[in-house]
Amino acid sequence: MQEFHYDALPGRVVFGAGVARRELRAEADRLAVDRVLLVATETEEPLARELAAPLGERVVAVFTSVRPHVPIQVAEAARALAASVRADAVLSIGGGSTTGTAKAIALTTGLPIIAVPTTYAGSEVTPVWGLTESSASGTSIGTEQSRKTTGVDHRVLPRTVVYDPELTVTLPADLSAASGLNALAHCVEAFWAPRRNPISSLAAEEGIRALAAGLPAVHADPTDLAARSDLLYGAYLAGSAFAVAGSGLHHKICHALGGAFNLPHAQTHAIVLPEVLAFNAPAAPDAARRIGRALGAGAQANAGHHEGADHTGDTDPVRALRELSAGLGIPRGLRELGLREDQIDESVELVAPAVPVDNPRRADRAALREIIHAAWAGSVPATELAARS
Ligand code: NAD
């Protein structure tokens, strides 16, 4: 018998190719807002203005000084602009940094956000905000001077999210893979994250299927709109699963490695994820089976084998994750990213205090060493082994 707690999050989702061009005005009408502050990066400003054009004079100002990780000065400038133009809503068009800037405004003003994401970050469906400041304590983002503080506040959760895969075809292949793999990690990790429940697992499993179908297809052809739709749908589900379930051991390891050794975010995620899954799988067999089933279904959909797809759960999830990453050109081991073997012990010490207490298997220092060493050494993909024999 099931027993669980589940905090469902509110929000309206509008999804489809072309919806950003067709439906933004109707969505502003639904929220009854008429003094909209448009937020976008300088690069995406022309696109954002084009999409917001049907709102006419309801767009009262445009804020373009978006920077990664939302420096506090940027947040304050955006809030000041919102106040000076008496904005009654924020329309953000862009990636996680842009959504984060809109959230910073909502955090202190309570203004509703309409979010139009153009990457697979997933921030648009979470109530999590993040701000970077120079001196206050918080979570390190990798430099001695910068400290990222994060928090949860339901005021920052966008009221409406407009997902339009047409906006993502310009996202370069490497950024698409990085952003999509991050989403995949959120889905896998949702199976053992602290607030997991049957609903978040459902979203995560479907998210893995969609991402496993979309990632290789977008890698092969970034203009493939159907594959872009799969990726964006998967990213939405990944964000939703993460928002509800939270993150676990994998993210703790990646955060520590990224912060201490400046390793690239997405590649580190892609390399560490199969090792954490391999470690947790014996104690979480249902999760492993469902992750394998979703990866198998995604791979088959990508291969165009919709008919007679085998959803029996026979796919080895660890092998499937490694093959997916290898197909995207991700290096096999952390050593290829520059991590030295003698830094593994230091990594273990950094991760050990942060290990989630309810990880399916007890991850003591010896276990952490095993996981990180395996990720450091890297595995030879099964396809390559087969080719060699
Ligand atoms: P980003 O927003 O910084 O965008 C990365 C780059 O891609 C930028 O140069 C941007 O201009 C460009 N770009 C965006 N969309 C594009 C498109 N369609 N075509 C071409 N170029 C495009 O990066 P991101 O990965 O989307 O977001 C990362 C940030 O989001 C981090 O700060 C992270 O902490 C945050 N985040 C927050 C949450 C949360 O729940 N609060 C969740 C995930 C990520």
DSSP 196-209: --HHHHHHHHHHHH
Tokens standing for residue 381:
């993909």
Report how far Cα 340 is from the mean position of its chain's Cα atoms: 28
Q: Give 182's pLDDT tier (boundaries 50, 70, 90).
A: very high
> Which is nearest to 199 in space by CA: 243, 160, 162, 158?
243
| Element spanning 389, H or E | none
Give the pLDDT of residue 140: 44
E-strand ranges in 124-236 read 128-133, 139-140, 147-152, 160-163
End-to-end Cα spacing for the chain: 47
Q: How far is CA 169 from CA 140, 174, 203, 291, 322, in A?
A: 32, 12, 24, 27, 25
Q: Which helix (H) or strand (E) holds 10?
A: none
133 pLDDT band (50/70/90 cuts)?
confident
Atom of ligand 1 nearest to the CA of 41: 11
Give residue-wise pLDDT tens across range 262-299: 999 889 999 999 999 999 999 999 999 999 999 999 99
Half-sphere exposure of 46 (CA within 13 A, CB side): 1
pLDDT digits (tens, 9 = 90+) for 222-251: 999 999 999 999 999 999 999 999 999 999
**CB-based contact 367:249 (threshold 8 Å):** no
156: β partners: none
- How remote is the CA of residue 128 from the centroid of ligand 1, in Å? 15
**What residues form DSSP beta bridges with 14?**
162
Alpha carbon distance 167, 24 (integer Å): 14
CA count, 13 A, side-chain hemisphere, 301: 22
Distance of CA 21 to the CA centre of its chain: 24
Nearest to 254 by CA among 266, 242, 245: 266
Structure tokens at 106: 């909502």
Helix (H) / strand (E) element for 191: namely none
- The pLDDT score that the predictor gives to residue 386 is 56
Q: pLDDT tens-digit profile of 32-44?
A: 999 999 999 999 9
The pTM of the full predicted model, rounded to 2 decimals, is 0.93
CB distance 68 to ligand 1 below 6 Å? yes
Residue nearest to atom 4 of ligand 1 (CA): 95
Identify the H or E element spanning 332.
none
88 pLDDT exceeds 70? yes
Closest to 175 measured CA to CA, from 207, 215, 206, 229: 215
Phi, psi angle pair for 300, to nearest 5°: -70, -40
Average pLDDT of every residue of the chain: 93
Helix (DSSP H) and strand (DSSP E) numbers for the chain: 14, 9
193-205 pLDDT tens trace? 999 999 999 999 9
Q: Whose CA is nearest to atom 14 of ligand 1?
A: 95
Residue 178 in this model has a pLDDT that exceeds 60: yes
Return the structure tokens found at 243: 């928002």
Does 222 sit in the ligand 1 pocket, CB within 6 Å?
Answer: no
Q: Which domains does the chain have, with CATH numbers?
A: 12-165 (3.40.50.1970), 172-388 (1.20.1090.10)
Indicate whether 137 pLDDT > 60: no
Residue nearest ligand 1's atom 3 by CA: 97
> Which of 66, 118, 140 gets mutated to test ligand 1 (max ligand atoms within 8 A of its CB)?
118
**pLDDT tens digit sequence for 293-348:** 999 999 998 887 544 445 555 899 999 999 999 999 999 999 999 999 999 999 99
Report the nearest-CA residue for atom 24 of ligand 1.
96
Does ligand 1 lie within 6 Å of residue 176's CB atom?
A: no
- Cα of 85 from ligand 1 centre, angstroms: 26
Q: Give the pair of three-digit tokens for residue 54.
A: 């049907």
Residue 304 has a pLDDT of: 75
Atom of ligand 1 lying closest to residue 167 CA: 18
| Ligand 1 atom at shortest distance from the alpha carbon of 70 | 32
Residues 218/227, Cβ–Cβ less than 8 Å = yes
